[in-house]
Chain A
Amino acid sequence: MSALAARRRTLPGFGLTMGLTLSWLSVIILIPLAGLFLKSLELSPDQFWNILSSRRTLNALRVSFGLAFAAASVNLVMGSIIVWALVRYRFPGRRIFDAIVDVPFALPTAVAGVALTALFAEKGWLGAPLAALGIKVAFTPIGIFVAMIFIGIPFVVRTVQPVLQDLDPEIEEAAGSLGASRGQTIIRVILPSLAPALLTGLALAFARAVGEYGSVIFIAGNLPNVSEIAPLLIVIRLSEFRYADATAIAVVMLIVSFVIIFAVNRLQRWARSRIPAR
């Protein structure tokens, strides 16, 4: 009876799709990652440690992860506000603004980098007034931060938008009629309902910013120890034929990214467990 049931699955093709999924993921993701780890094994633990603990490597990692986190946080806040405006209000040009959100997705990152650099250079439209205030953006870590915000914003907006769209305005009315102020409604009702989506958006924007290369290297100035990002350092080591050095840095980036994504994922699952699907 059960054998019959197993043979007569309502949805055929499990074996085929599962096989394709596993082989595809192996070829595209797992084998390259394994290669990365194998390459780094050419180094002795001492060499590995020396590469990592060198001042230049540590600074590059700090710049990449620190600024990526800062940029993702800014995107979380501003992205939420943008989503709110796009979903909850009807205003002229709403659809255009909605489309503009996707521009950082679609634009080649090098183009974005050049555009941002031109804009924020000392003679640029935004760079000049900022320079007058004594703030230098292009060719400093602030430039990296700006580029990371630019490329990360669609991730927050596009993950939170559908969830907010699904959020029934009636629950806000219910909160209001129960005596909650607008602030209490946002803090106690709306934000907790959006929490899993917000965390997902944060994680995606962060991951993207950590890995970003194209737009950053134009605006960063790439000064070792100051405005040099880890991916750039990897490229530099590769061009010096120091492949093992490059893979060591890559492995660390991989591990740190993985740990952070994993932590956010746990956090997300915890948040979602408090909002079981309807």
Chain B
Amino acid sequence: MKDKMPVTIEVRNLVKTFGSFKALDGVDLKVDGGELVALLGPSGSGKTTLLRIVAGLDWPDSGEVFISGEDALAQGARERHVGFVFQHYALFRHMTVFENVAFGLRVQPRAVRKDETGIRTRVKELLDLVQLDWLSDRYPSQLSGGQRQRIALARALAIEPRILLLDEPFGALDAKVRKELRKWLRSLHHEINVTSIFVTHDQEEALEVANRVVVMDKGRIEQIGSPDDVYESPATAFVHGFIGESIELPVQIESGVIRLGDRPLRLAADGLTSGASRLFVRRHDMLVGPAGSGAFEGAVQHVRNFGPVQRAEVALSGGETIEIDAPREKELRAGDTIGLNPRRYRIFAG
């Protein structure tokens, strides 16, 4: 596997509708060889549809898909040689773990099929790779969710796929197992070096595992970038709101002054167009100061402590209520009047 050049994936102007619902609305995406890309978005954003079209399990209304430069839409799922991992594993219940993994090898055309010894060696190799060789005689129903998903992955890898596609691979697992498998998937990807795309609605998962993140909403790609990019410099209001915990405030910009309600904020509005806009600040980027010192004024309503931070609900004098995360060293108390100053903020028109 390692000696092969990783394969590229390219998608051009994909459109797919289900009845009146636009699942994909003109999607372009290029994935380089050996990348591990996350498709991140809320449910209904089209990410799974995109993945299924690349796999050949769904067909677009229009657009093009290239795998390794070849027109993939000319081939069915069977010919594409794509490893696909399903959210609910889709293991064959009547087969042992061993036979599940061996399936892709057994159904190969006779001319290229391995003999029984060859199949055994290969399955053993894969079960070692996913660290579950001791389960080879069990049935899927006897495994935990995390084990099932690793077997599903071993099964997909058995055919030496050109690319690996994972649909919410950890979506059905509990939080602790998810975290373990995330790390494991990253190191596995490093080991086998197959171009991979995985779908997730969990931003933490996307930011932690992928080396590139594609944020989708309503059938469109909102932003493509490294995990740092999408977190630190969100390209759209949607991305800012979706990734990380953000405070969102409706503001008005008039001749270089930003207003929240009728109150002007002491924030620079350089280069911003006039009109209704939305101001985004990360919760932990709101610095607390004495009353009268900041861009915002507010009264603390509640305080709850979360490990290293205290989360305070603050009623701004403009009428909005926001939640901020402040460090614990200066205790906030309900009833305090404080000034707030955003360390960083972004304003998007509309």
Contacts and interface: CB of A to CB of B under 8 A. Distances in A.
A157 to B, nearest CB: 22
A91 to B, nearest CB: 18
B84 A193 contact: no
Interface in A247-278: 274-278
A178 B104 contact: yes
Contacts of B155: 174, 178
A177 B107 contact: no
A12 to B, nearest CB: 31
Given A178-B156, A179-B78, A173 B103 contact: no
Nearest to A275: B94
By CB atoms of chain A within 10 A, which of B55, B106, B107 has the most?
B107
Interface stretch (A57-65, A113-121, A133-141, A181-189): A181-189
B231 interface: no
Interface in A149-202: 168, 170-171, 173-181, 184, 188-189, 192-193, 195
B83 A168 contact: no
Contact of B88 (A168, A180, A274, A275): A168
A59 B81 CA distance: 59
B104 A168 contact: no
Contacts, number: 78
B93 A278 contact: yes
Contacts of A276: 93, 139, 141-142
Interface in A179-229: 179-181, 184, 188-189, 192-193, 195
B82 A177 contact: yes
A278 B78 contact: no
Given A170-B88, A278-B141, A177 B94 contact: no
Nearest to A274: B94
A178 B107 CA distance: 8
A176 B141 contact: no
A137 to B, nearest CB: 40
Contacts of B82: 177
Interface string B76-95: 11101111101010111111
Contact of B158 (A175, A178, A189, A193): A178
Nearest to B165: A177
A173 B90 contact: yes
Given A180-B103, A278-B141, A192 B86 contact: no
Interface string A30-59: 000000000000000000000000000000
A261 to B, nearest CB: 23
B56 interface: yes
Contact of A170 (B90, B94, B106, B141): B90
B77 to A, nearest CB: 5
B57 interface: yes
B274 interface: no
A188 B107 contact: yes
Interface residues of A, number: 23
A174 B104 CA distance: 10
Nearest to B99: A188
By CB atoms of chain A within 10 A, which of B57, B84, B86, B94 has the most?
B94
Chain B interface size band reads: 20 to 34
Given A170-B88, A170-B90, A275-B93, A177 B141 contact: no
B149 to A, nearest CB: 13
Interface string B30-68: 000000000000000000000000011100000000000
Interface in B130-189: 139, 141-142, 155-156, 158-159
B305 interface: no
A177 B92 contact: no
Contact of B92 (A179, A189, A195, A277): A189
Contacts of A181: 78, 107
A181 B103 CA distance: 12
A278 B89 CA distance: 12
Interface in A2-26: none
Contact of A184 (B56, B91, B107, B139): B107
A43 B300 CA distance: 99
B233 interface: no
Given A173-B84, A278-B141, A179 B90 contact: no
Nearest to A277: B141
Given A171-B90, A184-B107, A275-B94, A177 B142 contact: no
A177 B56 contact: yes
Given A188-B107, A193-B93, A180 B86 contact: no
A175 B88 contact: no
A91 B106 CA distance: 35
Contacts of A176: 57, 76-78
B108 interface: yes
Contacts of B78: 176-177, 179-181
Contacts of B108: 179
A275 B140 CA distance: 9
Nearest to A169: B90
By CB atoms of chain A within 10 A, which of B57, B81, B142 has the most?
B57
A189 B140 CA distance: 14
A181 B86 CA distance: 19
Nearest to B108: A179
Nearest to B76: A176
23 contacts: A168-B90, A173-B77, A174-B84, A174-B92, A175-B107, A176-B76, A176-B77, A177-B55, A177-B57, A177-B77, A177-B83, A178-B156, A179-B78, A179-B104, A179-B159, A184-B107, A189-B92, A192-B94, A193-B93, A195-B94, A275-B93, A276-B139, A276-B141
Q: Which 7 A-B pairs have the closest CB atoms?
A: A178-B104, A170-B90, A180-B107, A174-B90, A276-B141, A275-B94, A177-B84
